Each structure stands twice: as structure tokens, then as C-alpha cells.
């Protein structure tokens, strides 16, 4: 098992990997659209954590590219969540359910 401490990159990458795998599992195992959205958010947060970790442990400490990429991922995730929730509310008003299998064919 790797030495997990705040001064090493291994711990951050391990947590990011666990978050990413949890997101993939949530996407694969859920039929509910909200559960799929949560899985996508977990995957995006794993990517943001990985960018920030690589930025923190970069050879040149004055290079903020990792943190900038992490902020960009968070902004994209927030926009994606807002649009997805608006679509889910529209689908729920039409079908009274957000089950992905039941709403696969968009007809009322």
C-alpha cells in the first residue's frame, strides 16, 4: 500500500482513482437519470482532483496550470449539472418519472 500523506502525489491519485471508479459504477448500475448525473459529477471531480494534484506537485511551483484546469472542470461540471437538471425537470413533467429506460423513446 502506498504511503498516503499530504506531501506525496500517490494519495491524491489513489483518491481520484477511487472517485472515478465510483462514478463509472454509478453510471453503469443506475437506471435513474439523477444517479447517472451523480456518477458523471463524481468522474468530473476525480479529474479536477487529479489536475489540482499534478499542479501542486509540478516541478515548477509557480506554474498554476493544474489549478486552472481544475477550476475549469468545476465550472463545466456546474454548467452541465444545471442543464441536466433542467432537462430532468422537463422530462419529469412530461412522463412523471426520470427512469432512463422508461423515457428512452420520447413520446407522450
Q: Which domains does the chain have, with CATH numbers?
A: 9-95 (1.10.287.3510)
pTM over 0.85: no
Q: What is the SS3 assignment for 49-99? A: HHHHHHHHCCCCCCCCHHHHHHHHHHHHHHHHHHHHHHHHHHHHHHHCCCE
- Cα separation of 4 and 30, whole Å? 31
Return per-residue pLDDT of the chain as tens, 108 residues.
556 667 788 889 999 999 999 999 999 997 777 888 889 999 999 999 999 988 888 777 666 888 888 999 999 999 988 988 888 787 777 777 666 666 666 555
Give me the pLDDT at residue 75, please.
93
Nearest to 42 by CA among 12, 71, 22: 22
C-beta separation of 39 from 25 below 8 A:
yes
Query: In terms of Cα–Cα distance, which of 67, 23, 68 is closest to 45?
Result: 23
pLDDT of residue 103: 61
For residue 106, give the DSSP letter: -
Q: Residue 62 has what pLDDT?
A: 61
- Specify the pLDDT at position 9: 85
Amino acid at each position: 500500500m502506498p504511503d498516503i500523506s499530504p506531501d506525496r502525489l500517490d494519495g491524491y491519485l489513489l483518491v481520484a482513482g477511487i472517485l472515478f471508479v465510483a462514478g463509472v459504477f454509478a453510471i453503469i448500475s443506475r437506471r435513474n437519470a439523477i444517479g447517472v448525473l451523480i456518477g458523471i459529477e463524481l468522474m468530473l471531480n476525480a479529474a479536477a482532483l487529479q489536475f489540482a494534484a499534478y499542479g501542486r506537485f509540478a516541478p515548477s511551483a509557480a506554474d498554476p496550470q493544474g489549478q486552472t484546469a481544475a477550476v475549469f472542470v468545476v465550472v463545466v461540471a456546474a454548467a452541465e449539472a444545471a442543464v441536466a437538471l433542467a432537462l430532468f425537470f422537463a422530462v419529469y413533467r412530461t412522463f412523471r418519472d426520470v427512469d432512463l429506460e422508461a423515457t428512452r423513446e420520447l413520446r407522450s
